[in-house]
Amino acid sequence: MTVGVTHVDSWVKSRIREEEYVKYIDHGRDFIPQEAITASLQANKNPDPKRVKDILAKSLAVQTLEPDETAALLNVGDKELLQEMEEVARRVKRKVYDNRIVTFAPLYMSNLCVNNCLYCGFRKDNHRANRKVLSLEEVRRETEVLVGEIGHKRLIVVYGEHPDTDIDYMTSTIETVYGVKINTRNGWANIRRVNVNAPPLSIRDLRKLSAAGIGTYQVFQETYHRRTYGELHPEGTIKSDYRWRLYCMHRALEAGIDDVGIGALFGLYDWRFEVMGLLYHARELEGKFGVGPHTVSFPRLEPALNIPFTEDSPYKVADEDFKKIITVVRLAIPYTGMILTARETPEIRRDVIHSGVTQIDASSKIGIGAYAANLQNQEGSKQQFLLGDTRSLDEVVRELAWMGYITSFCTAGYRCGRTGRHIMDLLRSGKEGKFCKLNAVLTFREWVDDFASEETKVVAEEIIIKEVDEIKQAMPEIFPQFMKYYEQIRQGGRDIYF
């Protein structure tokens, strides 16, 4: 259905419901204290090494840091101390998530958008973008490639903001994704967790999204810096309302979505300020709902077709600062999942993954309909921005295995109620790791049997042997049941988990 201009205008005007955010605002002040953040960054310049070490001990105990502590870490310049921070970040990641990396792929449903964000290829004034909305049949074909040819079990589905792709479109496309089931070499495969990156929605729409059985609801604030936010999101657009966006995770949690993902687009404003913003956001959700963000994303601004801002921004983040961002987020919000996307090159991904990343995408294509069309050309005008890493899932899994990581295709958490507050407690105590380790090996076994190349199988089998042995030593009471499941999978059984 194509909607006329006047209809689009009235749709835009009806989206924001002030009453759905003012109720969360304490004493008229947002939870991002703009001046206090700047002051804290200033006051914590040249932190004392002894104090930094005390802060690191707190991170190792999986406690969320205070703003001043985070500001101190952001200001560390000494090389040795920085290395120590990276080492502790690595240990925190190991403690909470062990050697698991979760993989997923993005599925862009449409590039129609009523907003005009200065940095995005989908902005409505970008007349060089070819606009397209996937039909349900096209969604099915995209999913078939992702499930049947690549072997993904998790997707993040991505939507612009437009009446043609409103909540009903979102729920039907998600239902279509979940409906695809494909026979594989040794069993069958399907998508078991659909995460969603979508515009901020009303509580009513969020309830519908929750009922569609989604995993994580993800919205990036882009920049927490209010003035910059205003400059990059032109007035009169829905996205220009800083607060509608800032409080959307409050609405999501109220609407019953337990796993929420926050993020900032690094390169729009000072990266130190944005890390502080992410921390305040996490602390606010912890304080009000007892649940911090399930994931934090830290996309870096990438070039996009016909979008000069992406080349001109004065706040572009250098590689070494990017590594520091990841290290400090891991230390400041130690329990959270951290997503590193294929916007980054393989070299960068290789380098920073140790600093605390828990999820990466692979085989990614962000053109609308690009999987089924087998689009290779990154320059295609449908692209939102250019990707840095276009390697296949098989190559990425192989490299991770070489680096000592097991790729987890586990999607059990949200299907067993291990979400929200419940998973926070498990993560903090290290207990979630037990289920995750078992499920990582079971799902990895599935993927290897169904999709791995001969080359990948060699290194994958080595990892599996090591992991099975660790389970035998560390969890003797569960080991027999685990082996029963493992054998069922070898015989073609699928989607078996703890």
Q: Which SS3 state, helix, strand or coil, does residue 432 take?
A: helix
How far is the CA of 468 from the CAs of 97, 411, 429, in angstroms?
17, 19, 23
Question: Where along the sequence are the contacts to ligand SAM (CB under 6 A)?
Answer: 119-120, 122, 158, 160-161, 197-199, 219-220, 222, 265, 299, 301-302, 304, 310, 343, 384-385
If contact means CB under 5 to 8 A according to the sort of partner, which of ligand SF4, ligand SAM, none does residue 195 touch?
A: none
Q: How far apart are CA 89 and CA 338, in angstroms?
A: 12
Give the one entry of ligand SAM, ligand SF4, none that residue 123 binds, where binding means its C-beta sits below a cut-off of 5 to 8 angstroms depending on kind. Answer: ligand SF4
Paired strand residues for 154: 193
Identity of the residue numbered 393: L
Task: Name which of ligand SF4, ligand SAM, none residue 197 binds, using a CB cut-off of 5 to 8 Å depending on partner kind.
Answer: ligand SAM
The partner in contact with residue 304, picked from ligand SF4, ligand SAM, none with C-beta cut-offs of 5 to 8 angstroms by kind, is: ligand SAM
Residue 394 DSSP SS3: helix
289's contact among ligand SAM, ligand SF4, none, with CB below 5 to 8 A by partner kind, is: none
- Least gap, CB of 111 to ligand SF4 (angstroms): 7
Nearest CA-CA partner of 253 in 280, 274, 284: 284
| Interacting residues with ligand SF4 (CB under 6 A) | 113, 115, 117, 120, 122-123, 160-161, 239
Helix axes 49-60, 79-97, angle to 10 degrees: 10
- Choice between 112 and 285, CB closer to ligand SAM: 112
Say if CB 392 and CB 364 are below 8 A apart: no
CB of 11 or CB of 289, closer to ligand SF4: 11
CB of 448 to ligand SAM, least distance (A): 32
Kindly report each contact of residues 474-481 with a partner whose C-beta sits within 8 Å and lies 24 or more positions away, as own/partner.
475/434, 475/438, 478/434, 478/438
- At 86, the amino acid letter reads E
Question: 220 touches which of ligand SF4, ligand SAM, none (CB within 5 to 8 A by kind)?
Answer: ligand SAM
Q: Which does 323 bind (CB under 5 to 8 A by kind): ligand SF4, ligand SAM, none?
A: none
- Residue with Cβ nearer ligand SAM (142 or 432): 142
Cβ atoms of residues 72 and 44 within 8 Å: yes
Q: How far is the CB of 124 from ligand SAM (least distance, A)?
A: 11
Q: Which of ligand SAM, ligand SF4, none has residue 153 at its interface (CB below 5 to 8 Å by kind)?
A: none
Instruction: List, in sequence order, every beta strand (DSSP E) within 329-467.
Output: 337-340, 359-361, 406-408
Pick from ligand SF4, ligand SAM, none: which does 479 bind, CB < 5 to 8 A by kind? none
Give the Cβ contact number of residue 93 at 10 Å: 22
Nearest to ligand SAM of 267, 337 (CB atom): 267
Partner touching 225 among ligand SF4, ligand SAM, none, CB below 5 to 8 Å by kind:
none
Q: Which is nearer to ligand SF4, 239 or 349 (CB)?
A: 239
**CB nearer ligand SF4, residue 111 or residue 184:** 111
- Give the C-alpha separation, 9 to 12, whole Å: 5
Q: How far is the CB of 158 from ligand SAM (least distance, A)?
A: 5
Q: Which is nearer to ligand SF4, 123 or 365 (CB)?
A: 123
CB of 4 to ligand SF4, least distance (A): 20
CA R_g for the chain: 22
Nearer to ligand SAM, 92 or 248 (CB): 248
- What is the nearest approach in angstroms of ligand SF4 to the Cβ of residue 197? 9
- Per DSSP, the chain holds a count of helices (H) and strands (E) of 22, 11
Neighbours of 27 (CB within 10 A): 4
Angle at 336 between CA 332 and CA 340, to 5 degrees: 95
Q: How far is the CB of 321 from ligand SF4 (least distance, A)?
A: 23
Contact 323, 277 (CB under 8 A): no
Which of 244, 215, 199 has its CA nearest to residue 156? 215
Query: In a 3-state reduction of DSSP, which class is residue 247?
Result: coil
Nearest-approach distance from CB 171 to ligand SAM, in angstroms: 16
Q: Which is nearer to ligand SF4, 186 or 218 (by Cβ)? A: 218
Minimum separation from the CB atom of position 325 to ligand SF4 (A): 20
Q: Least separation, in Å, of the C-beta of 231 and ligand SF4?
A: 14
Nearest-approach distance from CB 32 to ligand SAM, in angstroms:
17
What is the 8-class DSSP label of residue 148?
I
Q: Which does 310 bind (CB under 5 to 8 A by kind): ligand SF4, ligand SAM, none?
A: ligand SAM
**111, 160 Cβ separation under 8 angstroms:** yes
Cβ-based nearer residue to ligand SAM, 234 or 493: 234
Q: How far apart are CA 66 and CA 333, in angstroms?
A: 10
Nearer to ligand SAM, 152 or 162 (CB): 162
**Cα angle for residues 103, 108, 113 (degrees, 5° grid):** 140
56 residue type, one letter: L
